[in-house]
């Protein structure tokens, strides 16, 4: 199995995109529709939300070439801002992701409501270049800036009853116009088994390409679980809850035959309406998928042990 891992001494930030774009990323983003959230950010945002300079490239980064910033910020699944792929970049421009707090509840010793700024200040921000795979057959490679989910969760001291972690997106129709339509059961909810959440790979992303996370990509904070399909990586998180029982998740409620709780990237288990055997990288011809889908999205070395003895067709 090919594992998409590169040591931290590998790709430098300046090498993952053309130098002219990298050195002028603020100007590039301000010119683009996708970058409108960053306009005037130095004057308006708190210190933690400004671009991070010199953040380390993680040892867990893939060696694959990332997609362009334009592709990453204009082709999105974020139904809170519309069901079309280009809707979020258009409809999220006026979303204000500050101030922001996250409620922590359930089976833990230290519940409470925490300001996002406190989260950022207490964690080590690093860059992780991860692949993101969507069930429809497309994929991207994205240079996220974020911090370890496991490190954050440990601070809340989950008890022995905490078997799962549930995440909830903001529910505010005035700020997220897509929630006016009942295309899904709002608010958006996702979940992980506790051992999945405590794995070394998942991160809470607060930026990409070295800048703050654009609205359409889940500002101000989102989950990234690189061995699962993209809809598991919930955006704009406002609540984390430790539970003893498996949480009901949004897409599993909407279409249980198509979207299982685990949702691991598994080329041997087809979606009812399409094959999962191959994938198309955004920017390539969608009618000619040329990439072989890798089990667990190529991260089997880190996560396969989590599913030993499980029927992965039953628990899909």
Q: Rounded to 5 degrees, what angle do the CA atoms 141, 151, 213 make? A: 40
Q: What is the average per-residue pLDDT within 91-102?
A: 95
CA pair distance 198, 151, nearest whole angstrom: 8
Helices (H) and strands (E) in the chain, counts: 10, 12
Question: Given the structure tokens 């295309």, which residue do they identify?
Answer: 183
Q: Parse the chain into domains and list their residue ranges.
A: 13-307
Give the mean model confidence (pLDDT) for residues 249-276. 96
Which CATH topology does 13-307 take?
Answer: Sulfite Oxidase; Chain A, domain 2 (3.90.420)
Q: Distance between CA 136 and CA 273 in Å, rounded?
A: 9
Query: Is the pLDDT reported for residue 87 higher than 70?
Result: yes
Distance of alpha carbon 227 from alpha carbon 240, whole angstroms: 21
Using only C-alpha atoms, the chain has a radius of gyration, in whole angstroms, of: 18
Q: pTM of this prediction?
A: 0.86
**Model pLDDT for residues 20-48, shown as the tens digit of each residue:** 343 344 333 433 433 443 333 333 455 55
Sign of CA dihedral 193, 196, 198, 203: negative
Question: Residue 57 — very low, low, confident or very high, per pLDDT cuts 50/70/90?
Answer: confident
- CA dist 74 and 80 (Å) reads 15
pLDDT tens for each residue of 154-182: 999 999 999 999 999 999 999 999 999 99
Q: What is the enclosing helix (H) or strand (E) of 87?
A: helix 87-91
For residue 212, give the H/E element and its range.
Answer: strand 211-212
For the chain, give the mean pLDDT.
86
pLDDT band at 51 (very low <50, low <70, confident <90, very high): low
pLDDT band with cut points at 50, 70 and 90 for residue 49 = low
């Amino acid at each position: 199995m090919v594992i998409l891992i590169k040591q931290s001494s590998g790709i430098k930030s300046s090498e993952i995109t053309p130098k002219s774009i990298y050195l002028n990323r603020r100007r590039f983003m301000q010119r683009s529709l996708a970058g409108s959230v960053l306009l005037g950010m130095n004057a308006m945002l708190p210190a933690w939300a400004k671009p991070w300079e010199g953040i380390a490239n993680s040892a867990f980064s893939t060696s694959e070439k990332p997609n362009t910033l334009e592709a990453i910020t204009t082709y999105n699944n974020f139904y809170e801002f519309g069901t079309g792929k280009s809707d979020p970049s258009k409809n999220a421009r006026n979303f204000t992701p500050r101030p922001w707090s996250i409620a922590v509840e359930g089976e833990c010793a230290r519940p409470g409501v925490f300001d996002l700024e406190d989260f950022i200040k207490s964690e080590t921000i690093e860059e992780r270049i991860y692949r993101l795979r969507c069930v429809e057959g497309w994929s991207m490679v994205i240079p996220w800036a974020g911090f370890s989910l496991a490190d954050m969760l440990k601070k809340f001291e989950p008890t022995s009853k905490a078997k799962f972690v549930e995440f909830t997106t903001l529910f505010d129709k005035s700020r997220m116009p897509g929630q006016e339509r009942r295309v899904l059961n709002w608010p958006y909810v996702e979940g992980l088994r506790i051992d999945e959440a405590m794995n070394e790979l998942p991160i809470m992303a607060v930026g990409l390409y070295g800048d703050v996370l654009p609205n359409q990509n889940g500002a101000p904070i989102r989950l990234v679980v690189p061995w699962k399909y993209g809809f598991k990586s919930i955006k704009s998180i406002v609540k984390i809850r430790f539970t003893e029982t498996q949480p009901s998740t949004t897409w599993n409620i909407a279409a249980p035959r198509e979207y299982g709780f685990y949702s691991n990237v598994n080329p041997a288990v087809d979606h009812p309406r399409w094959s999962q055997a191959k994938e198309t990288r955004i920017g390539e011809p969608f009618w000619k998928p040329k990439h072989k889908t890798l089990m667990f999205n190529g991260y089997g070395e880190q996560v396969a042990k989590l599913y030993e003895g499980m029927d992965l067709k039953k628990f899909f």
